[in-house]
């Protein structure tokens, strides 16, 4: 929902000098990952911002501001990098839109819950070994609780071509994996996000309440 210019306005509106804003975007939804990193002019400004801006209303919700943690040395290389690592607001949503309409996105259902997105990413890529995957979405929970075994979760998977996506669906649909029988099919064209209109709804609410919405550049 929040964009880089929204974060910049929050800090600069209180007189802070913003040197850099780093926001990662989930390309399956075009939404940020609910956090970002902001570099200010000095340590003193950072301390003051944490005191002044923490819990400030930001796009209808209290914002949490704390110190960024420095990385502890180099990490070992990742076997399967996460899709949203390295994607930023300027290119993520534009690059990934339209995959379902082009037949390049598959729905993979009948999955059990998994410990983390990194586990999901590695397990799904292993399941599709032999196929070229461009991206694996985060695991999505069913909208309502269903009785019986908890294999009701699902993900979306993107391919470089509709042909390869079709071949993968034909091979894997109905196979046994993760303790159950999985379902693999073409994703519907409206599968990008269940919250795609969240920002628009928020701005409409601001208008109804006569509050000025943040300016947009799109």
The answer to whether residue 66 sits within a structural domain is yes
What pTM did the predictor assign? Answer: 0.60
Domain count along the chain: 2
Q: Which of 8-22, 117-131, 161-175, 200-214 has the lowest mean pLDDT?
A: 200-214
Mean pLDDT throughout 41-62?
94
Q: Which of 4-18, 52-66, 79-93 has the lowest mean pLDDT?
A: 79-93
Contacts 24+ apart (CB under 8 A), 52-55: 52/14, 53/10, 53/11, 53/14
Q: Inform me whether the pLDDT recorded for 94 exceeds 90.
A: no
The answer to whether residue 210 sits within a structural domain is no
Same domain, 126 and 158: yes
The answer to whether residue 5 sits within a structural domain is yes
The answer to whether residue 164 sits within a structural domain is yes
Mean pLDDT throughout 74-90?
54
The answer to whether residue 195 sits within a structural domain is no
d(CA 120, CA 154): 10
Last residue within a domain, chosen from 45, 61, 89 = 89
Same domain, 65 and 101: no
Same domain, 116 and 178: yes
Confidence category of residue 198, pLDDT binned at 50, 70, 90: very low
C-alpha torsion angle, residues 116, 121, 126, 132 (rounded to 10)? 180
Confidence category of residue 137, pLDDT binned at 50, 70, 90: confident
The answer to whether residue 196 sits within a structural domain is no
The answer to whether residue 194 sits within a structural domain is no
Whole domain around residue 110: which residue ranges? 97-186
Confidence category of residue 182, pLDDT binned at 50, 70, 90: very high
The answer to whether residue 200 sits within a structural domain is no
Pairwise pLDDT comparison (86 vs 180), residue with the higher score: 180
Same domain, 65 and 115: no
Mean pLDDT throughout 40-64?
94
Mean pLDDT throughout 24-50?
83
CATH at residue 22: 3.30.70.330
Same domain, 66 and 104: no
Confidence category of residue 213, pLDDT binned at 50, 70, 90: very low
Same domain, 27 and 70: yes
Pairwise pLDDT comparison (126 vs 99), residue with the higher score: 126
Nearest to 146 by CA among 118, 110, 103: 110
Residue 109: strand, helix, or coil: strand
d(CA 187, CA 159): 12
Same domain, 5 and 84: yes
């Amino acid at each position: 929902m929040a964009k880089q210019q929204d974060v910049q306005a929050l800090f600069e509106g209180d007189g802070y000098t913003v040197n850099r804003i780093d926001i990662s975007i989930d390309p399956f939804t075009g939404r940020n990952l609910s956090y970002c990193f902001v570099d200010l002019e000095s340590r003193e400004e950072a301390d003051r911002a944490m005191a002044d801006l923490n819990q400030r209303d930001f796009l209808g919700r209290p914002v949490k501001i704390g110190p960024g943690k420095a990385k502890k040395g180099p990490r070992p290389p990742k076997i399967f990098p996460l899709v949203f690592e390295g994607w930023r607001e300027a290119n993520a949503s534009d690059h990934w839109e339209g995959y379902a309409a082009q037949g390049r996105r598959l729905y993979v259902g009948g999955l059990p819950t998994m410990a983390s997105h990194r586990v999901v990413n590695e397990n799904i890529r292993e399941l599709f070994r032999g196929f070229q995957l461009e991206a694996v979405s985060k695991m999505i929970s069913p909208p309502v609780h269903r009785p019986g075994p908890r294999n009701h979760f699902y993900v979306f998977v993107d391919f470089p071509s509709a042909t390869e996506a079709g071949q993968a669906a034909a091979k894997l649909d109905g196979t046994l994996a993760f303790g159950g029988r999985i379902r693999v099919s073409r994703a519907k064209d409206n599968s990008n996000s269940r919250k795609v209109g969240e920002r628009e709804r928020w701005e409409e609410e601001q208008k109804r309440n006569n509050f000025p919405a943040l300016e947009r550049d799109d």
